[in-house]
Amino acid sequence: MNSFQLDTAVDVVIVGTGAGGGPVAARLAAAGMSVVVLEAGGWRPSRSHMADERAAEPLYWLEERLSSGDMPVAFGANNSGTGVGGSLLHWGAFCPRPDARDMALHRTSGQGADWPIPHDTLVPYLQAVERQIGVSGPTPYPWDADRHYALPPLPHNAPAALFLQAAADCGIRASDAPAAVLSVAAAEGRPACANCGTCHQGCRNGAKFSPDLLFIPQAIASGAELRTHMRVVGMEQDPKTGRVTAVQYRDQTGASFRQACKALFLCAGGIETPRLLLHCGLANSSGMVGRNFMAHVATQIWGQFEQEIRGNHGYPSGAISEDMVRPDGADFAGGYLMQSLGVLPITLGMAMARSQGLWGRDLLDFVKSYRHQAGIGINGECLPHPDNRLTLSDEQDDFGVPKAHVSFSYHDNERRLDQHAQATMRAIWERAGARDIRVISRTAHTIGTCRMGVSPEDSVVNPDGCSHDIGNLYVCDNSIFPSALAANPALTIMALSLRMADRYVAAV
């Protein structure tokens, strides 16, 4: 691996190795640029991942973040990661594409915000990511006749089979879910999925995609340098031009370093990217850094069945329905996806304790029924609201940076969408024969805190991800989403990342 001098300006410094940073690093290094990638966590070989919920905790970003509002966001395992690969080390690999209607939500509904790039321009990048990372899925795809997946779908686990049949009985289309998990072995040596069911604990055999398996090795092979266990704490600017000239960071011992650079890409996610910008007082002439925080409505319905389900067996979310992306007669803007669920016992027990208030004997009795439990969940549109925002608290972390404080509440649109989704999922599970149906109210993902847009007055970066204020500062992660979309964000982030890298290479 290359080793660049700290006081010699490299072409690009990239902060983060997840869905945003990984593809950017691979593309820019392949274009011949000198690239340094900084990652707060370490590199974990695939064989170090354990099929154990407690052993997987080092994959999560567990440093304290403060949360408030009517729907306080649960951080940690739910929506962030640490280590080379970021949150994609423990993601569920569920990767539907963004819907064109969601990217034009304001034009069609008068609510939310539109994306400043056309959906059609993103499709080739979505296809490229699917080919590179290995997405298994159905062809034809019920909601997009032009879509084709190179790999066949993964086998169904029991929750997926129940969902597919019951949805059909209710007149709702459902299908195999697109997943970034290999259903057949890949030529480059990645094996097919072993159906162990522990995607959220890291994939031990490498069948599930994460950037440490592809994009980061590609970047290093093209000459990039990766520095792990490094926490960015500041940025330096040219006093005349305002351009970023260096990045300040610390290692685990607290030792300080600075890397001179010609450009900076922040790819640290919807919490850490705005936190760093607010801490440094940069890229915020619009006052929009941290505002319009969004979290997907991610309500789950769980039911107990007479037969054993054993949802820990097989790919956790093997079935999908997009019929409710625009449900007939809805009294809300946008819509939601549905997916089958098969989570592990501790995860389910903690969710029930938090949402249902189960404790003591009641919680133990529920966990004892785990083998008979199956769930359905949604990924629902969340509209941007300026009062849902990330700010800096008065408390500091171990590196001297103020901790993030996120205030988040549902508004009328999210509440109406949630009511519709709960009724839909309950009807499906009742048709499947579930009893003792319970609701877990939750959110997922951290989105929208550095909005992408055309106008410097109401956005942080332009359609190419470049700061309106600072010409060599770029943001590439889920913080730039103008709207939440109904689709899970990882595939869209990676497609945006490849597009942004191409645009940057063409411009310099």
Q: What is the DSSP string of 372-424?
A: GEEEEEEEE-----TTSEEEEEEEE-TTSPEEEEEE----HHHHHHHHHHHHH
Q: Three-state DSSP class for 252?
A: coil
**258, β-bridge pairs:** 248
How high is the pLDDT of residue 65? 95
On whether the CB atoms of residues 487 and 98 are closer than 8 A, the answer is yes
How high is the pLDDT of residue 78? 79
| Contacts by 363-372, CB closer than 8 A, 24 or more apart | 369/304, 370/345, 371/308, 371/309, 371/310, 372/304, 372/305, 372/306, 372/307, 372/308, 372/309
Concatenated DSSP letters of 451-476: -B-S-TTS-SB-TTSBBSS-TTEEE-
CATH for 12-66+73-507 is 3.50.50.60
On whether the CB atoms of residues 445 and 295 are closer than 8 A, the answer is yes
d(CA 380, CA 494): 20
Residue with tokens 């939310």: 112
How high is the pLDDT of residue 76? 81
Instruction: Walk along the chain (508 residues) and give the pLDDT tens digit of each residue.
Output: 899 999 999 999 999 999 999 999 999 999 999 999 999 999 998 889 988 999 999 999 999 999 999 999 988 887 889 999 999 999 999 999 999 999 999 999 999 999 999 999 999 999 999 999 999 999 999 999 999 999 999 999 999 999 999 999 999 999 999 999 999 998 778 999 999 999 999 999 999 999 999 999 999 999 999 999 999 999 999 999 999 999 999 999 999 999 999 999 999 999 999 999 999 999 999 999 999 999 999 999 999 999 999 999 999 999 999 999 999 999 999 999 999 999 999 999 999 998 889 999 999 999 999 999 999 999 999 999 999 999 999 999 999 999 999 999 999 999 999 999 999 999 999 999 999 999 999 999 999 999 999 999 999 999 999 999 999 999 999 999 999 999 999 999 999 999 999 999 999 9
How high is the pLDDT of residue 189? 85
Q: Omega before 140 cis (within 30°)?
A: yes
On whether the CB atoms of residues 501 and 23 are closer than 8 A, the answer is yes
Residue 314, by phi and psi: left (phi above 0), alpha (psi -120 to 50) or beta?
left
Query: For residue 504, how many C-alpha atoms fall within 13 Å in the half-sphere facing its CB?
Result: 32
On whether the CB atoms of residues 230 and 43 are closer than 8 A, the answer is no
On whether the CB atoms of residues 219 and 26 are closer than 8 A, the answer is yes
CB-based contacts of 361, cutoff 8 Å, min separation 6: none
Residue of 263, 315, 334 lying closest to 484 (CA atoms): 334
Query: For residue 42, how many C-alpha atoms fall within 13 Å in the half-sphere facing its CB?
Result: 6
d(CA 38, CA 385): 32
pTM of this prediction? 0.97
CB neighbours of residue 106 within 10 Å? 17
Task: DSSP letter for 312, please.
Answer: T
How high is the pLDDT of residue 1? 85
How high is the pLDDT of residue 187? 73
On whether the CB atoms of residues 37 and 23 are closer than 8 A, the answer is no
On whether the CB atoms of residues 231 and 87 are closer than 8 A, the answer is no
d(CA 264, CA 323): 41
Tell me the residue ranges of DSSP E strands in 98-179: 175-176
CB neighbours of residue 460 within 10 Å? 31
